Amino acid sequence: MSTDHDAGAEMAEGDACGCGADDAHGDRKAVSVDAAVRDRNLKRLRRIEGQIRGLQRMVEEDRYCADILTQISSVHEALRGVGRELVRHHLKHCAASAIRAGEGEAEGMYDELVDMMYKHIR
* Amino acid at site 53: R
| Number of structural domains found in the chain | 1
Q: Supply the range of the domain harboring residue 83.
A: 32-120
Q: How far apart are alpha carbons 109 and 115 in whole angstroms?
A: 10
3-class SS of residue 33: coil
Q: Are 104 and 3 in contact (CB under 8 A)?
A: yes
104 band by pLDDT with thresholds 50, 70 and 90: confident
The domain spanning residue 87 has which CATH number? 1.20.58.1000
pTM, two decimal places? 0.69
> Considering the domain boundaries, does residue 97 fall inside one?
yes
CB neighbour burial string for 57-84, b if at least 16 within 10 angstroms, e if fewer: ebeeeeeeeeebeeeeeebeebeeebee
Lowest mean pLDDT among 23-27, 73-77, 79-83, 112-116: 23-27
